[in-house]
Amino acid sequence: MTTPAGVPAAGAPVRLRGRTFGADHPVVMAIVNRTPDSFYAPARHSSSDAAVEAIAQAAGEGADIVDIGGIRAGRGPRVDAAEEVRRVVPLIALVRDRHPDLLISVDTWRADVARQAARAGADLINDTWAGHDPHLVEVAAEEGVGVVCSHTGGALPRTDPFRVAYPRAAPAGPDGDPGADPGADPRTDLRDGVVDDVLATLAIAAARAVSLGIDPGSVFVDPTHDFGKNTWHSLHLVRRTAALVGLGHPVLMALSRKDFVGESLDLPVDERLEGTLAATAVAAWLGARVFRTHDVRATRRTLDMVAAIRGDAPPARAVRGLA
């Protein structure tokens, strides 16, 4: 399909487990956490039965992928690899049996957990901590599954950002040495710098994944809002979604109810849906392809509407003025 004039380029197609999703089908990734302490209470599922019920509901509301996690991303009680496996691997096997057409992602930064998850039926490894375990991408290649390449600015797993900065490099001086521009506005400087850092990090990580034999359509790139970033950074990365699309891989946006949304609107986590959907619509218009969300039905409808406005997909029904 040709992109209409004035519409940003469509993002790269998504390919997982022999299935392809083009621009006409934005991909919804439902969040199901097998944890008792996730930051958003409705996503907490302390038992497998509760998680299975949530997954069935997500599939019914239009989720294409379900992202199963066993550890809260932020600070909290330590969860070792054995406990993480206990929480997620049997659930993945159960979901694969009950929902054979549903794609499954595992949210982990540990290679050993990722391998067991893949063998239980996971199709995608969502490494939200940017290759902290360097063997994780190798596991994805060996097991024939996709991988999410993320950006955290070097932050360690389960840590919060504190006064993070991504200075913009000034033009090279007479001696050829670049440096921070002392005359730049600090907020503008940080926002420009974060895009360069994200693009460079994701390009390197994605290239490594492809070099190991992973299909480029199964290598997602995620700017990872809030992780190693302040609210100014995260807002700017939404604005610059088109630059991420230019990397040539499906762009995953994990925006759902995050702190940058809450701080922008001064709202608690339970009241961040509208802000999340606004950011979702902007990113989708600019070519992002996959959206990780706590709110499947609302996200599905938002993305389908954006696809219709972009001209990527026809209206589900168009009879006004014709019948």
CATH number of the domain to which 59 belongs: 3.20.20.20
**What pLDDT, on the 0 to 100 scale, is given for residue 105?**
98
Q: Within a 10 A sphere around the Cβ of 267, how many other Cβ atoms?
A: 15
| Residue 308 pLDDT greater than 90, yes or no | yes
Task: Find the mean pLDDT for residues 248-257.
Answer: 98
How many domains is the chain built from? 1
Share of the chain above pLDDT 70, in %: 92
The residue assigned the tokens 């209470």 is 41
What pLDDT does residue 38 have? 78
**Closest to 104 (Cα-Cα) out of 57, 61, 69:** 69
Position 298 in a domain: yes
**Cβ–Cβ under 8 Å, residues 56 and 319:** no
Taking all residues of the chain, what is their mean pLDDT, rounded to a whole number? 91
The pLDDT score that the predictor gives to residue 2 is: 64
Q: Which tens digits make up the pLDDT trace of 107-158?
A: 999 999 999 999 999 999 999 999 899 999 999 999 999 999 999 998 888 7
Which residue in 117, 126, 112, 63 sits closest to 88, CA to CA? 117
321 domain-assigned: no
Range of the structural domain that residue 33 is part of: 14-310
3-state SS of 112-158? HHHHHHHHHCCCEEECCCCCCCCCHHHHHHHHCCEEEEECCCCCCCC
Structure pTM?
A: 0.90
Q: Is residue 315 part of a domain?
A: no
Nearest to residue 242, comparing CAs of 290, 196, 283, 191? 283
Q: Decide if 319 is inside a domain.
A: no
Strand partners, 220: 148
Q: Directed axis angle between helix 81-98 and helix 48-60, to 10°? A: 50
